[in-house]
């Protein structure tokens, strides 16, 4: 239909509503921060995690689509 790819448009729209994640390295520590946006009243608070513990010495913050990030986090947990 008119050369448009609706799946790509929907994905770009979903990413534009995603929160931001930032990591800061200091001289004596690391700070991870993630913005948690509730885009729908149907989502229950706390159901969408942005911070993950990969191992005892590894953590990560997620920005973007968390379903995609879950696969990467699980892969990182297996590798750690």
Which pLDDT score, from 0 to 100, does residue 45 have? 65
Nearest residue to 52 via CA among 24, 29, 72: 72
* Burial environment of residue 50 by CB neighbours within 10 A (0 to 12, 13 to 18, 19 or more): buried
The pTM for the full model equals: 0.61
Q: Identify whether the C-beta of residue 65 lies closer than 8 Å to the C-beta of residue 14.
A: yes
Q: State how far the Cα of 57 lies from the Cα of 43, in Å rounded to an integer.
A: 31
Which pLDDT score, from 0 to 100, does residue 34 have? 83
Q: Supply the DSSP symbol for 43.
A: S
The strand pairing partners of 24, in sequence order, are: 31
Q: Which residues in the chain come in under a pLDDT of 70?
A: 1, 17, 38-40, 42-48
Which pLDDT score, from 0 to 100, does residue 27 have? 92
Tens of pLDDT, residue by residue over 51-66, are 888 998 888 888 877 7
Q: State how far the Cα of 79 lies from the Cα of 64, in Å rounded to an integer.
A: 22
């Amino acid at each position: 239909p008119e050369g448009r790819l609706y799946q790509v448009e929907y994905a770009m729209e979903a990413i534009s509503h995603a929160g931001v994640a930032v990591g800061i390295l200091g001289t004596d520590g690391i700070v991870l921060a993630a913005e948690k946006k509730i885009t729908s009243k149907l989502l229950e608070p706390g159901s969408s995690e942005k911070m993950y513990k990969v191992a005892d010495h590894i953590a990560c913050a997620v920005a973007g689509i968390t379903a995609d990030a879950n696969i990467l986090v699980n892969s990182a947990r297996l590798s750690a």
